[in-house]
Amino acid sequence: MDRSVGAAARLPESDRKNLAIHALARSEPVSDLAARHGVSRKFVYAQKHKASIALDDAFLSAAAEDEVLFEVVVTKAWLCQVIVALALICRGSYRGVIEFMRDLLGVSISIGNVHTVLQTAARRAGVINHEQDLSGIPVGLHDEIFQGSTPVLAGVCAASTYCYLLVAAEHRDADTWGVHLLDASGQGLKPEYTIADAGQALRAGQKAAWGDTPCHGDVFHIQHQYESLANTLSRLAQGARSRRQKLEDRIGRAGQRDPNGEPELAAELELARQAEVRATCLARDIRTLTQWLSHDVLALAGPTLATRQALFDFIVEELARREPEDVRRIRPVRVALQNQRDDLLAFGGVLDEKLTVIAMAHELPESLVREACVLHRLPTTSSAYWQRWNQLRAKTSNKFHALFDAVSRVMAQTPRCSSLVENLNSRLRNYFTLRRHLGGSYLSLLQFFLNHRCFMRSRRAGRSGKSPRELMTGQGHPHWLTLLGLGPLQPQRA
């Protein structure tokens, strides 16, 4: 008898179970498992197959495929819930809703029926949107998004992501912005400051509506602009390198055929080498300047406002020195930075004030509070982070954890960009593609839905399972379908 078969026959049940578990878990190779237990690999695979079948049987539903699991009371209100939910949760088109109702529910409805249900819901949504108190919004984010050629004015709360403005307009001038911001003021909206890009009409409209309410610069857009410049110059430098290499290869092949070579190619190669050196140096310098701008000036974890301003001015001066080498590409970025300096760095002043308050509350020097702030720049997986962490803890003693938590909290509450509006744009885009034209009622319904639908997941744990309205007000509310007057939801099944 084969030795491995004998060993397998003598193997206890408990060892067979453990063998199957290890094989399923793939914690070690099958060959090693077989050698350790003195059995063949075929036997290990057989035990693995048995365990897999047992697991499938354990998790297989005991109910037959045609067994009735539960019953649903179908009413007119429930059908309206289905229509609205298909259009908003599933982003279904009118004809998609009709097909679902016909094929799965056996109900025949027309496009007019779907339109009427959604318009009724939109009117109710508009009323709820306009009745909402907006006084709890500390920082507003403004931007313009587009559906085709139609501008859509958008405003979002930086803390809760609540969308308080979503309006399609014929124009996006100062008067249009001013009118809609005044309407929002009637609902109690009075933020400490707002964040927006460099659009002059938006800023002029806010100044006309809200007077001296500051409008900080949006770091997101300017970062995209200067990073695009650095990437473009890097590609140009790579192209200059490729041209030089091709000329060298060409001269090498020509030299093999004719020892005297081609003098015009040698002159062209010399020019190509000079162009490569210039392009490489320019790309390297611009890349270094943009990295300084991102990591030392515009980063939230950074120095005081005065230091940021000095570094910012230095970077702009260095860009101006290199501007003659590529005026067409460098000048727009340099001018944008120069004109937006104070707006872009305004967040630094807000952060400085908050850190000063923390220093006074904990009776610590501002320099130590700043160290705690700058520490957030380093990844927690680096040794430098933990070295500075230990040094700061030694300096602050028993106040360290309270200090560090307070700094982390105020940094999280100091926005620098209006990228949440870009996030809103990406969420709306799936709905806009279903509609060639945007009506005010449709946008009101979308605004209501996004503000009252709970986040199923979020990188911020405090947002999971809550809606933007609940985050803004701190109070719960009924399900959004119930708020629209479509009746209670079906009871949850076990």
Is residue 115 a part of any domain in this protein?
Answer: yes
pLDDT of residue 260: 57
Q: Which two tokens stand for residue 43?
A: 């036997």
Question: How confident is the model at residue 301, as a pLDDT?
Answer: 92
- Indicate whether 224 and 327 sit together in one domain: yes
In a domain? residue 430: no
pLDDT at 147: 77
Same domain membership, residue 489 and residue 396: no
CA–CA distance, 182 with 26 (Å, rounded to integer): 64
Query: What secondary structure does DSSP assign to 31-44, as a single string?
Result: HHHHHHHT--HHHH
Rounded to 5°, angle at Cα 178 from 173 and 183: 135
Domain shared by 188 and 295, yes or no: no
Here the tokens at position 224 are: 């995209």
Overall number of domains in the chain: 4
Are 85 and 193 found together in one domain? Answer: yes
Distance linking the first and last C-alpha atoms of the chain: 54
Q: Is residue 424 part of a domain?
A: no
Q: Do 37 and 108 fall into the same domain?
A: no
> Do the bridges between strand 215-217 and strand 193-196 make them parallel or antiparallel, or are there none, so unpaired?
parallel
| CA gyration radius, the chain | 32
64 within domain boundaries? no
Burial of residue 69 (number of CB atoms within 10 Å: 0-12, 13-18, 19+): exposed
The four Cα atoms 468, 474, 480, 486 give a dihedral, to 10 degrees, of -160
- Check whether residue 81 and residue 195 sit in a common domain: yes
In terms of residue numbers, what domain contains 408?
A: 348-412
pLDDT at 27: 76
How much is the pLDDT for 383?
92
Q: Is residue 70 situated within a structural domain?
A: no
Q: Do 260 and 304 fall into the same domain?
A: yes
Q: DSSP state, 296?
A: I
Instruction: Specify if 125 maps to a domain.
Output: yes
Tokens (6 digits) for 59 = 């998790």
Residue 484, SS3? coil
- Extract the residue ranges of the chain whose pLDDT is less than 50: 1-5
Pairing status of strand 150-157 against strand 163-168: antiparallel
Burial 234-257 (b: 16+ CB within 10 A, else e): bebbeebbebbeebeeebeeeeee
Q: Are residues 122 and 230 in the same domain?
A: no
Same domain? 359 vs 408: yes
Closest CA to 447 of 79, 132, 189, 139: 132
**pLDDT value, residue 1:** 40
* CATH number of the domain to which 162 belongs: 3.30.420
Using an 8 Å Cβ cutoff, are 408 and 377 in contact? no
Q: What DSSP designation does 218 have?
A: P
- Rounded distance, CA 170 to CA 63, Å? 58
- C-alpha–C-alpha distance, residues 237 and 228, integer Å: 14
Q: What tokens appear for 101 in the block?
A: 């109702």
Residue 417 counted as domain residue: no
Q: Where are the alpha helices (DSSP H) in 174-218?
A: 174-185, 200-210
**Length in residues, the chain:** 494
Residues 100 and 133 in one domain: yes
pLDDT of residue 280: 95
| Domain end residue (candidates: 18, 33, 59) | 59
In order of 83, 319, 446, 486, 489, the CA distances from 121 in angstroms are 10, 54, 11, 8, 16
Q: What is the per-residue pLDDT for 484?
A: 94
399 lies in a domain?
yes
Is there a single domain that holds both residue 121 and residue 139? yes
* Same domain, yes or no: 365 and 456: no
Tokens found for residue 363:
């009776």
